[in-house]
Amino acid sequence: MKKELITLNINGDDYEIAVYPWRTLNEVLRDQLHLTGTKLGCGTGDCGACTVHIDDQSVSSCLTLAVEVEGHKITTIEGLAPQAVANSELENCELNPIQESFVNKGAIQCGFCTPGMIMSSKFLLDHTPNPSEAEIRAGLSGNLCRCTGYNKIVDAIADAAEKI
């Protein structure tokens, strides 16, 4: 089988890559482009760890074929604070306000769900700038966390909403 040559626009950069049509966006991001901020959890669209944005819509990258998103705008967790990714010295980096709130409110424990949580939070706040607690919880319903018990994540999003 032949690989297809495609160009993916990820976080504003164009990547020309050769991929098999059965490769998911998650596989291409992590294994081929080494953008490992996006995680792979369940692989069936239940846990939300793999959440990225396609044209500003939150989607499961594990259920998206890479060849299908050529020509679309792809945003991963690395794209929320590009300078922080480029600059390894933590003191000098500027995080996205949602990331900042997650850090400040202790909404991160093991951290595995965090990229997906933050991408879902971003989608929520893009559409619902002043969410109620119920709206925050509904907005996170596609993301599982086994550490925090969710309360601190809900607090972090409410905190971020006030800043944005």
Partner 1 sequence: MSLPQFTFLMPTSLSEACSLLEEHQGKIKIKAGGTDMIVRLSHRAVKPDFLMALKKIPDLNQISYSPEAGLNIGALALLREVEISPIVLEQAPMLARAARATATVQIRNMGTVMGNVCNASPSADNIPTLVAMNAVIVASSGDQEREIPIDEFFLGPGRSALQANEIATAIKVPKVAAKTGVSYQKISPRSKVDIAAVNIGAMITLDKANKCEAVRISMGAVGPTPLRAKQAEKYLLGKEITDETLAEAGRLAAEDASPITDVRANREYRKLMVEVLTTRALKEASSLAVNY
Q: Which is nearer to partner 1, 84 or 144 (CB)?
A: 144
What's the min distance (Å) between Cβ of 4 and partner 1? 8
15 in helix, strand or coil?
strand
Query: Contact with partner 1 (CB under 8 A): which of 8, 28, 29, 64?
Result: 64
**Choices 6-14, 46-54, 79-87, 95-103; region in contact with partner 1 by CB under 8 A:** 46-54
Query: Contact with partner 1 (CB under 8 A): which of 3, 7, 18, 57?
Result: 57
List of residues 6+ apart from 51 with CB closer than 8 A: 38, 58, 59, 60, 61, 115, 116, 119, 120, 142, 143
Q: Give me the half-sphere count of Cα atoms (radius 13 Å) on the Cβ side of residue 52.
A: 33
Residue 126 has a CB neighbour count (10 Å cut-off) of 13
Give the residues lining the site for partner 1 (CB under 8 A): 1, 4, 20-24, 27, 43-46, 48, 51, 57-60, 62-65, 67-68, 120, 123-124, 138-139, 141-142
